[in-house]
Amino acid sequence: MNNYVAVIGLEIHIQLKTKSRMFGNASNDVWQTSPNSITSPVDIGLPGALPVPNKEAIRYTQQFGYVLECTINKQSKFDRKNYFYPDLPKGYQISQYDEPFCSNGLLDIKVNNQVKTIRIRRIHLEEDTGKSLHIDGRTLLDFNRSGTPLMELVTEPDFASADEASEFAKIIQEAVVILGISDADMEKGNMRLEANISVKKQDQSDLPNYRVEVKNINSFKFMRNAINYEIDRQIKALEIGEILNQETRGWDEKKGITFIQRSKENAHDYRYFPEPDIPPFVFDDEYINELSQNLPKMPWVYELELIESGVNEPFANQIAHNQEKNQMYLQLVRENPQKSQNEIAKVVINRKSINEMRDYLNKQLDQSVSSKNTILTEDQILAVINIFPDAVNDLKAGKSNALQFLIGQIMREHKGQVDAATLPSVLIRLIGGSN
């Protein structure tokens, strides 16, 4: 890297798993359905159709903003973003321009043991487009996805490496899954990433005067590779005196390179204006307070709580970010009130199944429990064996299974909490057998 630093911002698109679409009331459950079979006139942009916003999608967006410490804006509205594309049925996308639902949030990430605060510029809500398949010089369109609620999170250009960007994106993915607002499955397209990348000299205080937008990244691995490639490419270009411009590039995983997509200079005049078909929003304190109640705990918050209750940081980190481990941890904490949380955490981290964990913990348990066994008095023993005169006679006659039988009955009577070691000799002495 020499004396260059990377300046990276992320735009993350997240599909919300509401039951119906963002502006039309057709079902939102469209994964692997036959094309164009789940649409309403609104989603397919028929003449005369009108949008009505999904209340739940807005709530989800605001709740997401809340856990990321955003300001939930009291005034908000939708705007039209006008451009032409075959998968955009109305010839405009209903989105948000200058009054998004959430602004100015924060999220801490940890990379190489360094904590860094990432600033979130805004989170807004819009609608997804239809899907296109390009085959044989033709484009096949499916509008089942058109109108799916799409949340967009935009960060400030606070990332300095692919690792940082990746870490952030992973936490965001976790957060929406825990909140229950999205499956964030990147293979299904529930979550899509875009990175804005530029580089500057280490001593340069201003932001670079250009950025390269890399779009359509659908895995963390691709994002890492694309960012690293871009940083490298840009540094090399600057070193030989090239001037870098604002442009959009795609990532080719096979070739391992970014490539210029058609320059859309002119197309960027989106002619935003307030959506005339949807009244604006005014949210009062009561509404905002209500939606922030009873939200699931975010992993980074939970991690701090674990640490405060005595769990070591590396264990706390793992448990907080692993639902499965956490469930087992909580279960074992309940079952083992006398054990320290850190100890249980350590056991959970180092083992795979809950049975293994239990066995380990119980082994330690057995040793302390055996000292709880009682030594019976002679009267207690006689009280049991006198119920079985035949067995007593058998024992007198020297039959060993009679001994086992009587020991068994004694154990049963006292629910096993008997120090059985001395029983055989005591019994024989009491009965006064031929031994």
Q: How far is the CB of 291 from other proteins (least distance, A)?
A: 13
Q: Which is nearer to other proteins, 54 or 317 (CB)?
A: 54
| 129 near other proteins, rule: CB under 8 A | yes
| 28 near other proteins, rule: CB under 8 A | yes
55-67 vs 162-179: helix axis angle to the nearest 10? 130
| 84 near other proteins, rule: CB under 8 A | yes
Q: Which of 112, 113, 117, 137: binder of other proteins (CB under 8 A)?
A: 137
Give the span between the Cα atoms of 378 and 363, in whole angstroms: 32
Q: How far is the CB of 312 from other proteins (least distance, A)?
A: 42
Q: From 65-73, 280-288, 347-355, 393-401, give the range in contact with other proteins by CB under 8 A.
A: 280-288
CA terminus-to-terminus distance, the chain: 89
| 74 near other proteins, rule: CB under 8 A | no
| 119 near other proteins, rule: CB under 8 A | no
Q: How many CB atoms lie within 10 A of CB 398?
A: 11
> Contact 331/319 with Cβ under 8 angstroms?
no
Angle (CA) 140-141-144 rounded to 5° is 145
Per-residue DSSP letters for 77-104? --EEEE---TT-TTSEEEE-SSS-SEEE
| 262 near other proteins, rule: CB under 8 A | yes
Per-residue DSSP letters for 314-382? HHHHHHHT-HHHHHHHHHHHHH-TTS-HHHHHHHHHH-SSHHHHHHHHHHHHHHHHGGGPBPPPHHHHH
Length of the chain: 435
Give the span between the Cα atoms of 319 and 193, in whole angstroms: 26
Q: Which is nearer to other proteins, 72 or 311 (CB)?
A: 72
| 41 near other proteins, rule: CB under 8 A | yes
Q: How far is the CB of 172 from other proteins (least distance, A)?
A: 18
Q: How many CB atoms lie within 10 A of CB 180?
A: 12
Q: How far is the CB of 34 from other proteins (least distance, A)?
A: 5
> Contact 5/160 with Cβ under 8 angstroms?
yes
Q: Which of 1, 31, 37, 356: binder of other proteins (CB under 8 A)?
A: 37
| 166 near other proteins, rule: CB under 8 A | no
Q: Which of 97, 220, 281, 302: binder of other proteins (CB under 8 A)?
A: 281
Q: How far is the CB of 194 from other proteins (least distance, A)?
A: 9
Q: Which of 99, 126, 142, 152: binder of other proteins (CB under 8 A)?
A: 142
Q: How far is the CB of 330 from other proteins (least distance, A)?
A: 31
Q: How far is the CB of 332 from other proteins (least distance, A)?
A: 38
Q: How far is the CB of 288 from other proteins (least distance, A)?
A: 13
Instruction: Give the residue carrying structure tokens 């009062």.
Output: 284
| 259 near other proteins, rule: CB under 8 A | no
Q: How far is the CB of 208 from other proteins (least distance, A)?
A: 23
| 45 near other proteins, rule: CB under 8 A | yes
| Dihedral sign of CA atoms 236, 238, 243, 244 in order | positive
> Contact 179/204 with Cβ under 8 angstroms?
no
| 133 near other proteins, rule: CB under 8 A | yes
Site size toward other proteins, by CB under 8 A? 72
Q: Tell which positions 186-225 bind other proteins, by CB under 8 A.
A: 192, 215-216
Q: Tell which positions 321-380 bind other proteins, by CB under 8 A.
A: none
Q: Which of 114, 115, 138, 355: binder of other proteins (CB under 8 A)?
A: 138
Give the span between the Cα atoms of 42 and 24, in whole angstroms: 5
Q: Tell which positions 89-118 bind other proteins, by CB under 8 A.
A: 89-92
> Contact 157/30 with Cβ under 8 angstroms?
no
| 182 near other proteins, rule: CB under 8 A | no
Q: Which of 239, 242, 253, 277: binder of other proteins (CB under 8 A)?
A: 277
Spatial CA neighbour of 26 closest among 176, 127, 141, 151: 127
Q: How far is the CB of 271 from other proteins (least distance, A)?
A: 4
Q: Which of 54, 155, 196, 336: binder of other proteins (CB under 8 A)?
A: 54
**Longest Cα–Cα distance in the chain:** 111
Give the span between the Cα atoms of 306 and 316, in whole angstroms: 6
Q: From 64-72, 110-118, 262-270, 348-356, give the range in contact with other proteins by CB under 8 A.
A: 262-270
Q: How far is the CB of 159 from other proteins (least distance, A)?
A: 22
